[in-house]
Amino acid sequence: MVDADSLCYSSLKEEDGEEVVAFMAEHFYPREPLWSMEGLPTEHSPQSTGLHMTYEDNKEWIHGSVQEWARSGVSVVARDPATGRLGGTLLGTILTRQQANTYQQALNSPKTKVCEDSAHVLSVLEAAVDFFARYQCVDRILELAMITVSEQMGGRGVGRQLVQFSPRAALVTGLRRVPWFPQESEQRGRHLGCQLATAQATAVPSQRLLYRLGYESLYTMDYTTFEIAGDRVFDVDKMLGTPSAKVMARLITPDQDVSDPALE
């Protein structure tokens, strides 16, 4: 049986974009409370979720974002070495004091009202904690945007492997495995100078994963009460059992003095 340690982990490349978008359409959006499966190019039955967003609503944004995440250098894909098929993806980027947000940009050119609402929700989560003020010695932050694991690989530790290091994992370079290369996202972030990792965890499974990996929750958005311009935007009965979103973080450079002054 293929498990997390048997998969091959490598950098997300721009040419992987279409494959990754199709993988997310099948394995991410059906289980993501903020969006809807409606209109997805899969064989799954449609189901509405929190914002009633369709695939077409989000298609342009996700295609462009995957390309940006590929260029970040911290996004990772996991493949079955026998078939080459994707088993999991982690999409992320690096935030700096000069560029401290990513989702705010999506508000500048939304295609539809529901797309604007989703960008607003994500930008609120991203801005909820001023990490650069909270951790004054932090200059670069690894932001974990989306973690996706196929249903077939669920429960086998792939999500953990994508986020954090396992000594048995290996990066595929051509036909060679290079076990010492930083293949998972936190390791890549450290390699690129990040001192902190953050995530906007909008679903219960990702929240549980990050808690297990040592992340702490610093902000909670209650889906039942959240409003935009006085209107409640979430259909809470369709949120797949997720009552809230959480902003979560973990220091990834324990050898440096980047302690949280709020905890001292």
**pLDDT, tens digit, 9 for 90 and up, residues 136-147:** 889 999 999 989
- Residue that has been written with the tokens 């040419």 in this structure: 15
How far is Cα 173 from Cα 231, in angstroms, rounded to an integer? 50
Into how many domains does the chain fold?
1
For 24, residues 6+ apart whose C-beta sits below 8 A from its C-beta are 62, 89, 146, 148
Give the domain range for residue 112.
Answer: 4-263
Residue 180 Cα distances to 9, 187, 256, angstroms: 12, 11, 22
Mean pLDDT of 5-34: 88
Q: What long-range pairs does 43-46 form, CB within 8 A, spacing at least 24?
A: none
**pLDDT, tens digit, 9 for 90 and up, residues 173-198:** 332 333 333 447 888 888 888 999 99
pLDDT top residue among 32 and 204: 204
The pLDDT value given to residue 41: 46
Decide if pLDDT at 7 tops 80: yes
Question: Which of these, 87, 126, 120, lies nearest to 2 by C-alpha position?
Answer: 87
- The bridge status of strand 216-222 relative to strand 231-232 is unpaired
Mean pLDDT of 115-134: 85
pLDDT top residue among 179 and 262: 262
pLDDT top residue among 74 and 60: 74
The pLDDT value given to residue 55: 62
The pLDDT value given to residue 18: 93
As given in the structure block, the two tokens for residue 223 are 């889906």
Question: Which of these, 43, 262, 235, 5, lies nearest to 134 by C-alpha position?
Answer: 262
Region of poorest pLDDT, from 29-38, 49-58, 142-151: 49-58
**pLDDT, tens digit, 9 for 90 and up, residues 51-64:** 555 666 667 778 88
The pLDDT value given to residue 262: 47
Phi and psi angles of residue 214, each rounded to the nearest 5 degrees, phi first: 95, 10
The pLDDT value given to residue 179: 38
Instruction: For residue 189, count other CB atoms closer than 10 A to its CB.
Output: 27
Decide if pLDDT at 50 tops 50: yes
Decide if pLDDT at 148 tops 50: yes
The pLDDT value given to residue 4: 87
Residue 158 Cα distances to 76, 163, 212, angstroms: 11, 9, 13
Decide if pLDDT at 15 tops 60: yes
The CATH number that applies at residue 228 is 3.40.630.30
